[in-house]
Amino acid sequence: MLATRGLTSGEFLAWMDTAFAADENALLAAHPEHYVMAPEEDGAFNVVENIGPHVCSFSMGGRATDAMAWAADADELLPKSAFPHKMSSNLFLGDGTVVGRALTQFGDTADGFRASLTVYVPTSRPADVLEHHLRHYAVDFRNWITAAAAARP
């Protein structure tokens, strides 16, 4: 769980929408292990980054509301009353094979917002992959939150 002050989840998510729509530099700057974060024609993103000692290339997509169907009964799904902003993403290879998923949930607090970040990877993955990717994901979001706060008027 990440917590921030001085920025609402709505402000952050608006910044993210802009960054994901047109600002690859902001997406790349979130982590030194990002090599490519480029939009694809179908609305997905091509991502090349380190996951543990592995350089991985995958597509990320399914941020739309209907993409939440896989997460509807996830143990990590938090109450909508406390975390009303939810996004999910599938991580998939060029042939469509899903190799991971992400569930992000945001809720405002009295002085900012909280973000719950969940990553799902296959149980057959090497032992260090999940731990590394969770740390990587936390760095991504910390840097995106900092960039969103700095971009406010």
pTM of the model: 0.85
**Buried/exposed code over 77-109 (b: 16+ C-beta within 10 A; e: otherwise):** bbeeeebebbbbbbbbeeeeeebbbbbbbbbbe
Q: For residue range 81-133, what is the model confidence (pLDDT) as tens digits?
A: 999 998 888 888 888 888 888 899 999 999 999 999 998 888 888 878 888 88
Residue 4 has pLDDT above 90, yes or no: yes
Q: For residue range 132-146, what is the model confidence (pLDDT) as tens digits?
A: 888 888 999 999 999
In 3D, which of 131, 135, 122, 132 has the Cα closest to residue 90? 122
Mean pLDDT over 67-84 rounds to: 82
Question: Encoding tokens for residue 144?
Answer: 């995106």
* pLDDT higher at 74 or 108: 108
Mean pLDDT over 23-48 rounds to: 84
| Residue 61 to residue 7: CA distance in whole angstroms | 26
pLDDT score recorded for residue 51: 80
* pLDDT higher at 67 or 31: 31
